[in-house]
A and B are shown apart, each in its own frame.
Chain A
Amino acid sequence: AQTVTQSQPEMSVQEAETVTLSCTYDTSENNYYLFWYKQPPSRQMILVIRQEAYKQQNATENRFSVNFQKAAKSFSLKISDSQLGDTAMYFCAFKGTQGGSEKLVFGKGTKLTVNP
């Protein structure tokens, strides 16, 4: 079974600075997808970024980028120029391609606080 581990339960960063959230996963599959989701205090889960395992290039979405290391099974999220609105829980998630299901396996999350 796949597992996702986020080793940082809480982090804080000053506004405008850069922060990196860590995620490691375990799987025997070769093709899969990885996601970072953000859950602000209002609770609605929002996709931040998606990475396809067969793509070497790291995904980027504006201030958000990932460092995907397939061999190391590592998938970290970098937030540049942090903003107050980035304060949220961040979840790393894995989706396999065997079995044909949309099931996501989530890490326990990292609570990020951006301080003014």
Chain B
Amino acid sequence: KAGVTQTPRYLIKTRGQQVTLSCSPISGHRSVSWYQQTPGQGLQFLFEYFSETQRNKGNFPGRFSGRQFSNSRSEMNVSTLELGDSALYLCASSPTSGTGGYIQYFGAGTRLSVL
């Protein structure tokens, strides 16, 4: 079974541009979560999508948005990029969403550099 796939792996953008990152979860997984990883702040939760609905959102500005499609694939978008948005963006999928301790499987990440 294929793992979580994130594209692209690397991205270079300039300030003010916008960017879209993609995540294909493990087949059959319906929950997709996004995390931002930086040396200073560590791993921070961005948002979670389940059955095309956002279930939870972290403490990030409105420039960060996401969506999930009917096949569970998810995209996240960052508009008006700032230098501080440079980070590794990780996507994780799990079979479902709720009160269970489901294991989240992570993709290799997208390394975004904002110049």
Contacts and interface: CB of A to CB of B under 8 A. Distances in A.
B51 to A, nearest CB: 12
B108 A47 contact: no
Interface stretch (A16-24, A61-69, A102-110): A102-110
26 contacts: A31-B99, A43-B108, A44-B107, A44-B108, A45-B90, A46-B106, A47-B104, A47-B105, A97-B99, A98-B99, A100-B55, A100-B97, A100-B98, A100-B99, A101-B48, A101-B56, A102-B31, A102-B94, A102-B102, A103-B33, A103-B45, A103-B58, A104-B35, A104-B45, A106-B35, A109-B43
A95 B45 contact: no
B contact face: mostly helix, strand, loop, or mixed: strand
A116 interface: no
B97 A102 contact: yes
A91 interface: yes
A52 B101 contact: yes
Given A43-B88, A45-B90, A104 B104 contact: yes
A101 B43 contact: no
Nearest to A32: B101
What size tier do the contact residues of chain B reach? 20 to 34
Contacts of A31: 99
A45 B106 contact: yes
Nearest to B45: A103
Given A43-B109, A44-B106, A45-B106, A99 B56 contact: yes
B97 to A, nearest CB: 5
Greatest chain B CB density within 10 A among A42, A101, A102, A108 is at A102
Chain A interface main SS type? loop
Nearest to B98: A100
Interface in A76-111: 91, 95, 97-109
A105 B45 contact: yes
B42 interface: yes
B12 interface: no
